[in-house]
Amino acid sequence: MTDNETSPPIPGAANPKGVGTRIWGICKTILINVIVFCSLFIPFEFSYRVWTYFRSCDSICNISALTKLDTFEREHVYGFLASNSVTGFSPADGTFVIHEPGWNNATITIRGGVRVNTNFAPTSANGAILAVGDSFAFGDQVSDGETWPAILEKRLNRRVVNGGVSNYGAAQAVLRAEQLLKAEPYTLVILSILVGGDGGDLWRDRLVNGFVFHRPAVIREGGKVRQTTIEESRKIVLDNFICNHPWIPEFFFWSYIARRFFSQLGYDGQCWAIVHPKAATVNEILEFVVERLARFPVNKAILIQYPSYSFKDTSEAAKIASTIRETIDEARMIREVATRHGVPVVDTYNVLKNKRLDKIYTLPHHSKKGNEVVADLITREIPMLVNGQSNH
């Protein structure tokens, strides 16, 4: 080949100018698509927020639908909970003052993994009572001396150990009771169960996580119902695509529409409500819970607690009438199963139904007054509970 001859093009060699043109073309296409998407999605998002606002005005208009930029409901972990290898999570020792809205600067004191009232020391020599359950037993939104276990301790002048834990399921609470019974003998165990469909304690036992922690789920496998280990639940969470790629939903943190979609996948500011793929039904979980409780070698009882909406006039709250009926039906189911297994039941419905809701609830939990009503009911029932007879 002579110097005047042109070398043939090398196959596959890139033309720098052509490559730059193609990259710019791709970027331009992406930019145009983003602009078109935003021009369509943003008005739709705004319309959805306005609709959400007016829909909330059936009770109290929720202005946050129009003003809140971050749409996710990010759960607060206030510092008084820590991971636990058996139950998933449990109270952490220390004294905590909660300055969040609705908590009224409540003081929470944890000693030996249970909540205590340091301002009262019972003098009765009668055996201790153990209370377990969720936040209604633990006493969210009230101070140490205002929980129903603390008030019951004063009424009876008898030691009542508050083994409740916020966000626990019923089976999870039984598991915690089993652990606490190994450490100390009790004469009576009271299992508090909050009814309420897909927001109640029995439903929570279908989940593999809660707050930022993993939790044991109740599943049906091989024809049997059992409780998973924390490690098994952790694996389910890790297998969740969205939980492993949280940047995807977080990219749409500003969208109520996106939040509604991602919450169905178990993500609402964090992965916190993933149902185990083999989760047992609520009925199966109830049988599982009561059977295990019935085997305790001490006196035992179930305390049925209710969310505030259970006491609303259905004619004024037609939209939640079916939810109220589900709640009442769940309580009836608990009474029936407990009776079949010989476990006494204390049902709080009748003593709460005629009270002013704003007096007995600091939404969503019981106020000090509400806890007093519950404690007074249990105080009256104690003689029958230790004899296994109550079913009120």
pLDDT by residue (tens digit) across 62-75?
677 777 777 777 66
Residue 129 in any domain: the answer is yes
pLDDT, tens digit (0-9, with 9 covering 90-100), for 77-129: 678 999 999 999 999 999 999 988 889 999 999 999 999 999 999 999 899 99
Query: Does residue 252 fall inside a structural domain?
Result: yes
pLDDT higher than 60, residue 11:
no
Give yes or no: residues 205 and 91 share one domain: yes
Count of domains for the chain: 2
Looking at the domain assignment, is residue 391 inside a domain?
A: no
312-333 b/e with 16+ CB inside 10 Å = b? eeeeeeeebeebbebbeebbeb
Tell me, what's the pLDDT at 351? Answer: 96
The verdict on residue 4 lying in a domain is no
Residues 63 and 86 in one domain: no
Residue 290 confidence (pLDDT): 98
Helices 368-385, 148-156: inter-axial angle, 10-degree rounding: 50
214 part of a folded domain:
yes
Does the residue 11 lie in any domain? no
Cα–Cα dist 116/126, whole Å: 18
Do residue 42 and residue 119 come from a single domain? no
Looking at the fold, whether 46 and 118 belong to one and the same domain comes out as no
Q: Which of 359, 375, 351, 348 minimizes the C-alpha distance to 120?
A: 375
Question: Is residue 305 in some structural domain?
Answer: yes
Q: Where are the beta strands (DSSP E) in the chain?
A: 81-84, 88-91, 94-98, 106-111, 114-115, 129-132, 160-162, 188-194, 209-210, 213-214, 218-221, 224-227, 299-305, 345-347, 361-362, 365-366
User: Which pLDDT value is given to residue 348?
Assistant: 97
The β-bridge partners of 365 are 362
> Exposure pattern of 51-83 as b/e (b: 16+ CB <10 Å)?
ebbeeeeeeeeeeebeeeeebbeeeeebebbee
Pair 276, 348 in one domain: yes
Residues 257-309 pLDDT 10s = 888 888 777 777 777 788 999 999 999 999 999 999 999 999 999 999 999 98
Domain limits for position 47 = 16-67
Characterize the bridge pairing of strands 94-98 and 114-115. unpaired
Cβ-based neighbour number of residue 198 at 10 Å: 13
Q: Is the pLDDT of residue 254 over 70?
A: yes
Residues 119 and 55 in one domain: no
What is the pLDDT at residue 252? 80
Cis ω before 364 (30° cut-off from 0): yes
Residue 189: CB atoms within 10 A of its CB come to 24
Q: Domain for residue 72, yes or no?
A: no
Residue type, 357: L
Distance CA 127, CA 51 (A): 56
Partnered with residue 345 across adjacent β-strands are: 302, 391
Same domain membership, residue 101 and residue 243: yes
Last residue of a domain, one of 8, 39, 67: 67
Residues 127 and 223 grouped into a single domain: yes
Q: What is the pLDDT of residues 198-241, one digit of tens each?
A: 779 999 999 999 878 999 999 999 999 999 999 999 999 888 88
pLDDT computed for residue 2 by the predictor: 52
Asked whether residue 158 falls in the same domain as residue 258, the answer is yes
- Is 379 found in the same domain as 230? yes
Kindly state the tokens that stand for 57: 């005005």
CATH number at residue 283: 3.40.50.1110
Residue 101 sits in the same domain as residue 220: yes
Say if pTM beats, i.e. exceeds, 0.95: no
Domain match, 62 and 180 both: no
Cα 211 → chain centroid: 7
Higher pLDDT, 54 or 143: 143
% of the chain at pLDDT higher than 90: 59
Distance, in Å, from the CA atom of 303 to the CA atom of 131, rounded to the nearest integer, reads 10
pLDDT in tens, 308-319: 989 887 655 566
